[in-house]
Structure 1
Amino acid sequence: MKSTSRRLTAVSVGIAAVLALTAGVAPAAAAPGGPHASPPVLTPATCTSLVGLEIAEKAIDLPTRGAVVETATWDATGSYCAVTGWIRAVSAPQDMQFQVNLPAAWNGRTLQFGGGGFDGSLVTATGNYTAQPAGTPTALTQGWVTLGSDGGHQGAPGFDGTFQLDEELFLNYGQWSVKKAHDAAAAVIDAAYGVDATWSYFIGGSQGGHEALDAAARYPKDYDGIVANYPAYNVTMMHVGAVNFRDALLLEGGAGHLNAAETATITGAVYAACDGLDGAVDGIVSDVQGCGEAFDVQTLACPAGTDPATVDTCLSEVEIDAALKITTDYDLGIDIEGNSIFARSALFEGALYQGFAGFGSGPLAQGLQFQVFAATMRYGVAGDPPGFDPYTVDPLDYADRVQEVGEIMDVTDVSLNRFRAHGGKVILTHGTIDDFITPHNTVQYWESLQDEFGKRLDSFAKFYMVPGWGHGQGRFVAQYDGLGAIVDWVENGVAPSDLVAGDGTAGADRTRPMCEYPAWPEYSGTGSVDDASSFTCVTG
């Protein structure tokens, strides 16, 4: 067995010590009570005076060499101060960039925005949070301090994994950047307003959803509420486990590859069999479990005498085998943070696998799943060795290092118990047709929370599965008031109920109830199928 375990030679602590340090972080809790009765007022002069502000190492409760404010620009139109700065690395080749936006009249709350993908570019946090309803006021315009970062490094667009070769940058991405940005922003807030935040929140999707769960699990006393949409909480398993996609599409020398037309043949048959199971033929499969019973991929087998290579309206035997492999839970054979199972794809439940999340133009251009597998295997796991071949590499040959990478990136088995004890609240969502992070991945996480907390789980966490929602896109692009819901729960003790999502698809004008998992929305038989009030959440 090969192992490319690389020690954190440049940083003063090893991975084991770092994880112990992270687990023991216990910063001062947020002040009790509601938002500031008399909002602190920030002036343009105070804003510009922040340029050059030095933030001491001790103000950031993780390894750094302190931080400095580079720019502080007053936005007269928005009445806020946009502050950018750099958190100095201990020994990494890059510092970490952050931005914190300070409204003229602050309501005492902070909202941290998550990133996406491999991060690598600054999240300015001036616009909408993930899944925010279009046309509603941003948190910044409502008087919130908002903040974001580059996730701990700067990288090329797409999935540039070269940063994973440096363990400090890797740890930034995996778990540290959340805390470093929070602490740097807290120092800026203190310098600008002279008071600390009363309430602190985090919202993100995908990698930003992972960062939201990092915020809650690893830094529980820094945050009061989080919203994690379609979270990449187990990044290592998602990336390395995607070897199942590679091997499926490469069956029999690549004969298993599914092109866009063949994939559309599958999904077209899925919707024909399953769209009406919820009582409404509306392009959305809501009864996912019923769909599993109603759809049979074998019905798409090419008739005898048909050459599958010449048609896209039916599937060869090997293409069916590839589709079945993708839609079956895959045991990676490596325990990563307490789990070895790469959850099955939702291809047979309505996931579209077109566009950015498709399977590529051929077996040697396999699309998004293969891109993340190849990047993390090459850089984070194998260490970019000469002759590395992502088409043949076997993760089992690097099992020890895969487990180490899981300790860096994944939050799979980091308990939310301290967050719960602190009074923190969690809203968790996923879409049923996510074709990048399968919804079954988040179901795995939710079931692990059920195992840990039992009946206590409902007191601090809610999970919503949204039919038709993909990875930020799909047939129903969910938008909902996650910020209002989490604030009402945290500050007023009012748990979310009767949440409604609107469809952000261009030209769409429809709503659906957000049902707590495992419930799903069933059409009542009367009223508009575009109106949430016409649907009832059911579990049958």
Structure 2
Amino acid sequence: MIWWTSNPDAVIDFGWRAMHTAVDSGKTVVSNYYGSSANKSYYTGCSDGGRQGLQSFQMFPEDFDGVVVGSPAAWLSHQQAWSIWMTKHVFPVNGSSWIPSDMWSVIGDEVIKQCDTIDGVADGIINDPWRCYFRPETLACRSNSTDSCLTSDQIDALNKIYHPWIDVNQTYVFDGYLPGGEAQYDSVHLASTAPDSIGLDFFEYLVYNDTNWDWQTLTYADAVFFEELNPGQMIANSHDLTEFAGESHNGKVIHFVGLGDPNISPGQSLHYYRQVEQYMNLNSDLDIDDYYRFFPVPGMAHCSGGIGANAFGAADTSSATPPLAFDADHSALLAMVQWVEEGIAPSKIIATKYVDDDSSNGVNFTRPICMYPQEITYTGNGSIWNATNFDCE
């Protein structure tokens, strides 16, 4: 990350300029080659690619007609502070709050035991983790316990991990992890011998230009400073979609997030969606369902992987592409094209889980991904591994 401190232009390129310039150049090439401009333009990206998609329609609403974004790293100032904040809950290594890697599978099994059947189906996947009120106290060490249990300090740490970061005066900073992704949660912020390197690099090189900065001193004030600095205008957290979604452009957004995401709290995607809805309802006459649809993906990790159905024709959603069928019912990108060009808005997308996430190994199961706030509901008939036996209600 040393280039951040030695090349200010590269920081701007990372923030927004490279993407916008590439889009402009691409449109020029198309126009010159074909003798006419493209009728429509689309984008799909996940993680920082998701941030780039949001940044595009926030700063340059004319760049794309339809944008498919996944797990966007949009609120970078708060997200990178949060990644370090989560580590602080369990540090130091082997201290009283430390949760060893092998304990996370035990925690995950208890989460499934408590919450798997909330949706009426015992499949090891929690469709709506916001309805799971996980009680880690059930794993508390009894007087004769020796292992596979939690101490009081570990339980306190877990409660912090699963809840939003709320600072003084009830200031919302960032969302917490959701129950159900424990198989991934130990791999990024919670079982390493140091904080996530990306968050650490952001603060050491980009924010403070000080490799001796002590991450253990991090507070909400560091997130605020990062946000005020906003190097390269890289924060993509505007809630004003008026120019993009208004009648003059009529742009569309499909936003998906894996509910087992270990890199960026999946609750943060819901928070952004709700903030957009609130702002736009207060400042426009637009109905959010006409321009922005949010699709939580049960069991999926960060942009791909995880235990859920994760192949649905969007950027990085599976190592196996295309999905089972490459059409608007099974592909988020083609659903976007259909929405923009035919006016048919998607309310669900059929996702495929391949064996070992490899299409050459065959289909494991299929499952619908429902537009929020609808939920996946089993009809009560037929195999629970076939999407046709589920509705979105």
TM bin, normalised by shorter chain, reads 0.7 to 0.9
CA apart distance, 1:216: 1.4
Asked if structure 1 preserves the Cα contact closer than 8 Å seen for 2:77 and 2:223, the reply is no
Q: Which structure 2 segments of 5+ residues have no match?
A: 313-330
Aligned counterpart, 2:288: 457
Q: Which whole-Å CA distance do the structure 2 matches of 1:528 and 1:492 have between them? A: 33
SS in 2 for 1:242: helix
**Structure 1's 332 and 395: CA in aligned 2 closer, same or farther, altered over 3 A?**
same
CA apart distance, 1:425: 0.7
Asked if structure 2 preserves the Cα contact closer than 8 Å seen for 1:237 and 1:406, the reply is no
Aligned counterpart, 2:194: 365
**Structure 1's 220 and 476: CA in aligned 2 closer, same or farther, altered over 3 A?**
same
Aligned counterpart, 1:185: 26
Q: Which whole-Å CA distance do the structure 2 matches of 1:285 and 1:462 have between them? A: 21
Larger strand proportion, structure 1 or 2? 1
Aligned counterpart, 2:308: 476
Larger helix proportion, structure 1 or 2? 2
Asked if structure 2 preserves the Cα contact closer than 8 Å seen for 1:239 and 1:372, the reply is yes
Aligned counterpart, 1:242: 83
1:344 aligned to 176, 185, 209, which one? 176
Matched, 1:297 2:136: yes
**Structure 1's 304 and 254: CA in aligned 2 closer, same or farther, altered over 3 A?**
same
Q: Which whole-Å CA distance do the structure 2 matches of 1:260 and 1:252 have between them? A: 11
Q: Which whole-Å CA distance do the structure 2 matches of 1:318 and 1:173 have between them? A: 40
Aligned counterpart, 1:487: 337
1:418 aligned to 235, 243, 260, which one? 243
Q: Which whole-Å CA distance do the structure 2 matches of 1:397 and 1:358 have between them? A: 18
Q: Which whole-Å CA distance do the structure 1 matches of 2:264 and 2:164 have between them? A: 14
Asked if structure 1 preserves the Cα contact closer than 8 Å seen for 2:164 and 2:175, the reply is yes
Letter in 2 for 1:410: I
- Runs of 4 or more consecutive aligned structure 1 residues displaced over 6 Å after TM superposition: none
Asked if structure 2 preserves the Cα contact closer than 8 Å seen for 1:234 and 1:411, the reply is yes
CA apart distance, 1:423: 0.9
Q: Which whole-Å CA distance do the structure 2 matches of 1:272 and 1:398 have between them? A: 36
CA apart distance, 1:358: 5.9
Letter in 1 for 2:370: C
Asked if structure 1 preserves the Cα contact closer than 8 Å seen for 2:78 and 2:223, the reply is no
TM-score (norm 2): 0.85
CA apart distance, 1:388: 2.6
Deviations 1:267-300 (A, max 9, x none): 11001111122222112111323322xx310011
Matched, 1:328 2:163: yes
Q: Which whole-Å CA distance do the structure 2 matches of 1:484 and 1:234 have between them? A: 28
Letter in 1 for 2:161: I
**Structure 1's 381 and 442: CA in aligned 2 closer, same or farther, altered over 3 A?**
same
SS in 1 for 2:42: strand
**Structure 1's 452 and 358: CA in aligned 2 closer, same or farther, altered over 3 A?**
closer
**Structure 1's 161 and 416: CA in aligned 2 closer, same or farther, altered over 3 A?**
farther
Letter in 2 for 1:502: T
Letter in 2 for 1:219: F
CA apart distance, 1:517: 1.0
Letter in 2 for 1:296: R
Deviations 1:120-145 (A, max 9, x none): xxxxxxxxxxxxxxxxxxxxxxxxxx
Q: Which whole-Å CA distance do the structure 2 matches of 1:238 and 1:165 have between them? A: 24
Q: Which structure 1 segments of 5+ residues have no match?
A: 1-159
Letter in 2 for 1:462: R
SS in 2 for 1:353: helix
Deviations 1:174-218 (A, max 9, x none): 222220111222233344333322211110011111111112111
Asked if structure 1 preserves the Cα contact closer than 8 Å seen for 2:40 and 2:64, the reply is yes
**Structure 1's 289 and 345: CA in aligned 2 closer, same or farther, altered over 3 A?**
closer
Matched, 1:215 2:215: no
CA apart distance, 1:254: 3.4
Letter in 2 for 1:359: L
CA apart distance, 1:355: 7.0
**Structure 1's 461 and 190: CA in aligned 2 closer, same or farther, altered over 3 A?**
same
- Larger relative CO (CA 8 A, sep 6+): 1 or 2? 2
CA apart distance, 1:404: 1.6
Letter in 1 for 2:40: W
Aligned counterpart, 1:442: 269
Asked if structure 1 preserves the Cα contact closer than 8 Å seen for 2:67 and 2:253, the reply is yes
Map 1:220-231; keep pairs closer than 5 Å: 220-231=61-72
Asked if structure 1 preserves the Cα contact closer than 8 Å seen for 2:309 and 2:365, the reply is no
Asked if structure 1 preserves the Cα contact closer than 8 Å seen for 2:80 and 2:199, the reply is yes
Q: Which whole-Å CA distance do the structure 2 matches of 1:198 and 1:334 have between them? A: 49
Q: Which whole-Å CA distance do the structure 2 matches of 1:411 and 1:466 have between them? A: 22
- Give percent identity, aligned residues only: 27
2:201 aligned to 372, 375, 380, which one? 375
Map 1:129-168; keep pairs closer than 5 Å: 160=1, 162-163=3-4, 166-168=7-9
CA apart distance, 1:436: 1.2
Q: Which whole-Å CA distance do the structure 1 matches of 2:352 and 2:267 have between them? A: 23
**Structure 1's 256 and 161: CA in aligned 2 closer, same or farther, altered over 3 A?**
farther
Letter in 1 for 2:194: A
SS in 2 for 1:514: strand
Q: Which whole-Å CA distance do the structure 1 matches of 2:83 and 2:139 have between them? A: 25
Q: Which whole-Å CA distance do the structure 2 matches of 1:192 and 1:265 have between them? A: 59
Number of paired residues?
363
CA apart distance, 1:401: 4.3
Deviations 1:300-329 (A, max 9, x none): 11112445xxx3x11111111111111111
Asked if structure 2 preserves the Cα contact closer than 8 Å seen for 1:206 and 1:231, the reply is yes
CA apart distance, 1:474: 0.7
Letter in 1 for 2:207: V
CA apart distance, 1:414: 5.0
